[in-house]
Amino acid sequence: MAKGVNSAAEQAEQLKQDGNLYFKKNRFGAAIDAYTEVPDSFHAHHLFDEMPISRCLILNLQAITLCPNVPVYWTNRALCHRKRNDWARVEEDCLRAVRLDPQSVKGHYMLGLALLQREIFAEGIKALERALDLGRGAQPNSYMVEEIWQELASAKYKEWLHDSTQQTLALQKLEKSCEIALEEKFVHDLSQKVDGTDEVSYSISKHLAALKLIFSKAVEANKPTEVPDYLCCKLTLDIFRDPVICPSGFTYERAVILDHLEKVGKFDPITRESLHPSQLIPNLAIKEAVGTYLEKHGWAYKMD
Protein backbone atom coordinates (compact mmCIF):
# COMPACT_ATOMS: atom_id res chain seq x y z
CA MET A 1 0.00 0.00 0.00
CA ALA A 2 1.25 3.51 -0.78
CA LYS A 3 3.24 5.27 1.89
CA GLY A 4 1.53 8.00 3.84
CA VAL A 5 -1.92 6.54 3.42
CA ASN A 6 -3.47 6.93 6.85
CA SER A 7 -7.20 7.68 6.59
CA ALA A 8 -9.86 5.08 5.91
CA ALA A 9 -10.92 6.91 2.75
CA GLU A 10 -7.35 7.04 1.44
CA GLN A 11 -6.79 3.37 2.19
CA ALA A 12 -10.07 2.47 0.51
CA GLU A 13 -9.16 4.49 -2.58
CA GLN A 14 -5.78 2.76 -2.77
CA LEU A 15 -7.52 -0.61 -2.55
CA LYS A 16 -9.86 0.45 -5.34
CA GLN A 17 -6.86 1.26 -7.51
CA ASP A 18 -5.37 -2.15 -6.67
CA GLY A 19 -8.66 -3.78 -7.62
CA ASN A 20 -8.75 -1.89 -10.91
CA LEU A 21 -5.26 -3.11 -11.72
CA TYR A 22 -6.16 -6.73 -10.99
CA PHE A 23 -9.33 -6.38 -13.07
CA LYS A 24 -7.37 -5.14 -16.10
CA LYS A 25 -5.16 -8.21 -15.78
CA ASN A 26 -8.25 -10.48 -15.72
CA ARG A 27 -7.53 -11.50 -12.14
CA PHE A 28 -11.13 -11.13 -11.06
CA GLY A 29 -10.83 -13.01 -7.78
CA ALA A 30 -8.01 -10.73 -6.68
CA ALA A 31 -10.01 -7.70 -7.77
CA ILE A 32 -13.03 -8.82 -5.76
CA ASP A 33 -10.83 -9.24 -2.71
CA ALA A 34 -9.43 -5.75 -3.13
CA TYR A 35 -12.91 -4.26 -3.41
CA THR A 36 -14.27 -6.06 -0.36
CA GLU A 37 -13.34 -7.55 3.01
CA VAL A 38 -11.79 -11.00 3.20
CA PRO A 39 -11.25 -12.19 6.78
CA ASP A 40 -7.95 -13.94 7.56
CA SER A 41 -9.76 -17.20 8.25
CA PHE A 42 -11.14 -17.11 4.72
CA HIS A 43 -7.84 -16.69 2.89
CA ALA A 44 -6.83 -20.33 3.23
CA HIS A 45 -9.53 -21.64 0.93
CA HIS A 46 -10.40 -18.53 -1.07
CA LEU A 47 -7.87 -19.13 -3.83
CA PHE A 48 -9.68 -18.73 -7.13
CA ASP A 49 -8.50 -20.67 -10.16
CA GLU A 50 -7.30 -17.56 -11.98
CA MET A 51 -5.77 -15.97 -8.88
CA PRO A 52 -2.27 -16.79 -7.69
CA ILE A 53 -1.28 -15.89 -4.12
CA SER A 54 -0.94 -12.12 -4.33
CA ARG A 55 -0.73 -9.18 -2.03
CA CYS A 56 -4.51 -8.76 -2.19
CA LEU A 57 -4.74 -11.75 0.14
CA ILE A 58 -2.79 -9.99 2.84
CA LEU A 59 -4.69 -6.71 2.66
CA ASN A 60 -6.26 -6.53 6.11
CA LEU A 61 -8.44 -3.54 5.46
CA GLN A 62 -10.51 -3.63 2.30
CA ALA A 63 -12.23 -0.87 0.31
CA ILE A 64 -15.85 -1.71 1.07
CA THR A 65 -15.11 -2.47 4.71
CA LEU A 66 -13.35 0.86 5.12
CA CYS A 67 -15.88 2.95 3.17
CA PRO A 68 -19.13 1.00 2.67
CA ASN A 69 -21.01 4.11 1.57
CA VAL A 70 -19.00 4.69 -1.62
CA PRO A 71 -21.17 3.33 -4.47
CA VAL A 72 -18.34 2.96 -7.00
CA TYR A 73 -16.72 0.28 -4.81
CA TRP A 74 -19.90 -1.78 -5.04
CA THR A 75 -20.20 -1.37 -8.82
CA ASN A 76 -16.53 -2.25 -9.26
CA ARG A 77 -17.02 -5.47 -7.35
CA ALA A 78 -20.23 -6.16 -9.27
CA LEU A 79 -18.27 -5.87 -12.51
CA CYS A 80 -15.91 -8.58 -11.28
CA HIS A 81 -18.86 -10.81 -10.39
CA ARG A 82 -20.26 -10.15 -13.85
CA LYS A 83 -17.02 -11.38 -15.44
CA ARG A 84 -17.40 -14.58 -13.43
CA ASN A 85 -21.11 -14.88 -14.40
CA ASP A 86 -22.08 -14.69 -10.74
CA TRP A 87 -25.30 -12.82 -11.44
CA ALA A 88 -26.79 -13.22 -7.96
CA ARG A 89 -23.90 -11.28 -6.46
CA VAL A 90 -24.01 -8.75 -9.31
CA GLU A 91 -27.61 -8.04 -8.38
CA GLU A 92 -26.81 -7.76 -4.65
CA ASP A 93 -23.93 -5.31 -5.18
CA CYS A 94 -25.81 -3.20 -7.72
CA LEU A 95 -28.86 -2.92 -5.48
CA ARG A 96 -26.57 -1.58 -2.78
CA ALA A 97 -24.93 0.82 -5.24
CA VAL A 98 -28.19 2.33 -6.54
CA ARG A 99 -29.49 2.74 -3.01
CA LEU A 100 -26.37 4.75 -2.19
CA ASP A 101 -26.46 6.62 -5.50
CA PRO A 102 -29.75 6.57 -7.48
CA GLN A 103 -27.86 8.27 -10.34
CA SER A 104 -25.37 5.41 -10.78
CA VAL A 105 -25.35 4.50 -14.47
CA LYS A 106 -23.26 1.37 -13.95
CA GLY A 107 -25.38 0.32 -11.00
CA HIS A 108 -28.66 0.43 -12.90
CA TYR A 109 -27.05 -1.06 -16.01
CA MET A 110 -25.59 -4.15 -14.36
CA LEU A 111 -28.68 -4.55 -12.18
CA GLY A 112 -30.71 -4.71 -15.38
CA LEU A 113 -28.39 -7.33 -16.84
CA ALA A 114 -28.59 -9.42 -13.67
CA LEU A 115 -32.39 -9.30 -13.61
CA LEU A 116 -32.56 -10.30 -17.28
CA GLN A 117 -30.33 -13.28 -16.52
CA ARG A 118 -32.93 -14.32 -13.95
CA GLU A 119 -35.63 -13.80 -16.63
CA ILE A 120 -37.23 -10.97 -14.66
CA PHE A 121 -37.74 -9.12 -17.91
CA ALA A 122 -40.00 -6.24 -16.89
CA GLU A 123 -37.78 -5.12 -14.00
CA GLY A 124 -34.61 -5.76 -15.97
CA ILE A 125 -35.79 -3.63 -18.88
CA LYS A 126 -36.87 -0.92 -16.46
CA ALA A 127 -33.37 -0.83 -14.92
CA LEU A 128 -31.73 -0.67 -18.35
CA GLU A 129 -34.03 2.17 -19.40
CA ARG A 130 -33.08 4.07 -16.25
CA ALA A 131 -29.38 3.50 -16.97
CA LEU A 132 -29.86 4.72 -20.54
CA ASP A 133 -31.60 7.92 -19.44
CA LEU A 134 -28.89 8.63 -16.88
CA GLY A 135 -26.12 7.85 -19.35
CA ARG A 136 -27.55 10.13 -22.01
CA GLY A 137 -27.74 12.93 -19.50
CA ALA A 138 -24.12 12.51 -18.42
CA GLN A 139 -22.24 11.45 -21.57
CA PRO A 140 -24.60 11.07 -24.55
CA ASN A 141 -21.95 9.85 -26.99
CA SER A 142 -20.02 7.56 -24.62
CA TYR A 143 -19.38 3.89 -25.37
CA MET A 144 -21.47 2.92 -22.33
CA VAL A 145 -24.62 4.58 -23.69
CA GLU A 146 -24.22 2.55 -26.89
CA GLU A 147 -23.60 -0.63 -24.90
CA ILE A 148 -26.67 -0.04 -22.73
CA TRP A 149 -28.81 0.61 -25.80
CA GLN A 150 -27.61 -2.63 -27.41
CA GLU A 151 -28.55 -4.64 -24.33
CA LEU A 152 -31.90 -2.86 -23.98
CA ALA A 153 -32.75 -3.33 -27.65
CA SER A 154 -31.83 -7.02 -27.42
CA ALA A 155 -34.05 -7.46 -24.35
CA LYS A 156 -36.94 -5.61 -25.97
CA TYR A 157 -36.63 -7.66 -29.14
CA LYS A 158 -36.59 -10.93 -27.19
CA GLU A 159 -39.65 -9.75 -25.28
CA TRP A 160 -41.43 -8.96 -28.56
CA LEU A 161 -40.37 -12.29 -30.07
CA HIS A 162 -41.78 -14.18 -27.08
CA ASP A 163 -45.05 -12.24 -27.11
CA SER A 164 -45.32 -12.48 -30.90
CA THR A 165 -44.86 -16.25 -30.83
CA GLN A 166 -47.53 -16.61 -28.16
CA GLN A 167 -49.89 -14.35 -30.11
CA THR A 168 -49.37 -16.32 -33.33
CA LEU A 169 -50.09 -19.61 -31.55
CA ALA A 170 -53.22 -18.11 -29.99
CA LEU A 171 -54.42 -16.84 -33.38
CA GLN A 172 -53.83 -20.23 -34.98
CA LYS A 173 -55.78 -21.93 -32.23
CA LEU A 174 -58.63 -19.45 -32.53
CA GLU A 175 -58.71 -19.78 -36.32
CA LYS A 176 -58.92 -23.56 -36.04
CA SER A 177 -61.78 -23.28 -33.54
CA CYS A 178 -63.67 -20.94 -35.86
CA GLU A 179 -63.18 -23.29 -38.81
CA ILE A 180 -64.51 -26.20 -36.79
CA ALA A 181 -67.53 -24.13 -35.72
CA LEU A 182 -68.27 -23.17 -39.34
CA GLU A 183 -67.94 -26.76 -40.50
CA GLU A 184 -70.33 -27.92 -37.77
CA LYS A 185 -72.76 -25.21 -38.86
CA PHE A 186 -72.41 -26.44 -42.44
CA VAL A 187 -73.29 -30.00 -41.42
CA HIS A 188 -76.24 -28.74 -39.35
CA ASP A 189 -77.58 -26.53 -42.16
CA LEU A 190 -77.33 -29.37 -44.66
CA SER A 191 -79.27 -31.67 -42.36
CA GLN A 192 -82.10 -29.11 -42.28
CA LYS A 193 -82.37 -28.74 -46.04
CA VAL A 194 -83.57 -31.10 -48.68
CA ASP A 195 -83.02 -28.64 -51.53
CA GLY A 196 -80.53 -25.77 -51.83
CA THR A 197 -77.45 -27.65 -50.72
CA ASP A 198 -75.35 -25.73 -53.25
CA GLU A 199 -76.42 -22.47 -51.62
CA VAL A 200 -75.35 -23.74 -48.20
CA SER A 201 -72.00 -24.93 -49.56
CA TYR A 202 -71.36 -21.56 -51.19
CA SER A 203 -72.25 -19.70 -47.98
CA ILE A 204 -69.91 -21.79 -45.88
CA SER A 205 -67.06 -21.47 -48.41
CA LYS A 206 -67.54 -17.73 -48.44
CA HIS A 207 -67.38 -17.55 -44.63
CA LEU A 208 -64.26 -19.75 -44.51
CA ALA A 209 -62.49 -17.53 -47.06
CA ALA A 210 -63.39 -14.40 -45.07
CA LEU A 211 -62.17 -16.06 -41.91
CA LYS A 212 -58.80 -16.91 -43.45
CA LEU A 213 -58.45 -13.34 -44.74
CA ILE A 214 -59.14 -11.86 -41.30
CA PHE A 215 -56.58 -14.09 -39.56
CA SER A 216 -53.94 -13.65 -42.26
CA LYS A 217 -54.24 -9.87 -41.84
CA ALA A 218 -53.90 -10.23 -38.08
CA VAL A 219 -50.70 -12.27 -38.49
CA GLU A 220 -49.36 -9.93 -41.18
CA ALA A 221 -49.79 -6.90 -38.93
CA ASN A 222 -47.18 -8.30 -36.55
CA LYS A 223 -44.56 -9.14 -39.19
CA PRO A 224 -41.42 -7.00 -39.62
CA THR A 225 -41.49 -4.43 -42.42
CA GLU A 226 -39.43 -1.30 -43.08
CA VAL A 227 -39.26 1.45 -40.49
CA PRO A 228 -40.64 4.73 -41.90
CA ASP A 229 -37.89 7.08 -43.12
CA TYR A 230 -38.94 9.94 -40.88
CA LEU A 231 -38.17 7.79 -37.83
CA CYS A 232 -34.62 7.05 -39.01
CA CYS A 233 -31.42 9.08 -38.80
CA LYS A 234 -30.21 10.25 -42.21
CA LEU A 235 -26.63 9.44 -41.26
CA THR A 236 -27.00 5.95 -39.78
CA LEU A 237 -30.28 4.96 -41.49
CA ASP A 238 -31.21 3.33 -38.16
CA ILE A 239 -34.27 4.11 -36.10
CA PHE A 240 -33.74 7.08 -33.79
CA ARG A 241 -32.75 6.54 -30.17
CA ASP A 242 -32.00 10.07 -28.97
CA PRO A 243 -32.92 12.48 -31.81
CA VAL A 244 -31.82 16.12 -31.85
CA ILE A 245 -32.82 18.81 -34.33
CA CYS A 246 -30.45 21.36 -35.84
CA PRO A 247 -31.11 24.96 -36.97
CA SER A 248 -31.27 23.60 -40.54
CA GLY A 249 -34.35 21.60 -39.59
CA PHE A 250 -32.64 18.24 -40.04
CA THR A 251 -32.78 15.70 -37.22
CA TYR A 252 -29.87 13.45 -36.34
CA GLU A 253 -29.00 10.84 -33.75
CA ARG A 254 -27.37 12.77 -30.90
CA ALA A 255 -24.28 10.59 -30.42
CA VAL A 256 -23.65 10.45 -34.17
CA ILE A 257 -23.89 14.20 -34.79
CA LEU A 258 -21.75 14.93 -31.72
CA ASP A 259 -19.12 12.54 -33.02
CA HIS A 260 -19.26 14.26 -36.42
CA LEU A 261 -18.85 17.71 -34.88
CA GLU A 262 -15.90 16.53 -32.81
CA LYS A 263 -14.01 14.51 -35.43
CA VAL A 264 -15.03 15.94 -38.81
CA GLY A 265 -15.90 19.57 -38.23
CA LYS A 266 -18.35 22.06 -36.76
CA PHE A 267 -20.84 21.98 -39.62
CA ASP A 268 -24.15 20.36 -40.56
CA PRO A 269 -23.31 17.20 -42.55
CA ILE A 270 -26.16 17.80 -45.01
CA THR A 271 -26.38 21.56 -45.44
CA ARG A 272 -22.69 22.23 -44.60
CA GLU A 273 -23.81 25.20 -42.52
CA SER A 274 -21.89 26.07 -39.33
CA LEU A 275 -23.11 23.98 -36.41
CA HIS A 276 -22.06 23.71 -32.74
CA PRO A 277 -23.14 21.24 -30.03
CA SER A 278 -24.92 24.01 -28.12
CA GLN A 279 -27.31 24.41 -31.06
CA LEU A 280 -28.63 20.86 -30.84
CA ILE A 281 -32.13 20.63 -29.39
CA PRO A 282 -33.89 17.38 -28.40
CA ASN A 283 -36.55 16.52 -30.97
CA LEU A 284 -39.22 15.43 -28.52
CA ALA A 285 -41.89 14.97 -31.18
CA ILE A 286 -39.78 12.45 -33.10
CA LYS A 287 -38.68 10.75 -29.90
CA GLU A 288 -42.30 10.29 -28.85
CA ALA A 289 -43.21 9.01 -32.32
CA VAL A 290 -40.37 6.48 -32.16
CA GLY A 291 -41.50 5.33 -28.73
CA THR A 292 -45.05 4.83 -29.95
CA TYR A 293 -43.85 2.96 -33.03
CA LEU A 294 -41.60 0.64 -31.00
CA GLU A 295 -44.43 -0.14 -28.58
CA LYS A 296 -46.50 -1.41 -31.51
CA HIS A 297 -43.64 -2.92 -33.52
CA GLY A 298 -41.15 -4.49 -31.13
CA TRP A 299 -39.36 -6.21 -34.02
CA ALA A 300 -37.85 -2.79 -34.88
CA TYR A 301 -35.57 -3.17 -31.85
CA LYS A 302 -33.60 -5.87 -33.67
CA MET A 303 -30.07 -4.69 -34.43
CA ASP A 304 -28.46 -5.80 -37.69
pLDDT value, residue 2? 43
Homologous superfamily (CATH) of 229-301 is Zinc/RING finger domain, C3HC4 (zinc finger) (3.30.40.10)
Q: pLDDT > 70: what percent of the chain?
A: 76
Each residue's pLDDT tens digit, 56-65: 322 323 667 7
pLDDT value, residue 68? 82
Nearest CA among 48, 41, 56 for reference residue 86: 48
pLDDT value, residue 49? 38
The two domains 8-148 and 229-301 share their CATH topology (first three levels equal): no
pLDDT value, residue 260? 96
pLDDT value, residue 17? 63
pLDDT value, residue 10? 64
Q: Where are the domains of the chain?
A: 8-148, 161-220, 229-301
Which residue would you say has higher pLDDT here, 29 or 79? 79
Cβ-based neighbour number of residue 220 at 10 Å: 9
Q: Does domain 8-148 bear CATH number 1.25.40.10?
A: yes
Each residue's pLDDT tens digit, 114-151: 999 998 989 999 999 999 999 988 776 677 888 999 99
pLDDT value, residue 203? 78
Nearest CA among 5, 52, 55, 60 for reference residue 36: 60
Torsion sign over Cα 133, 135, 139, 141: negative
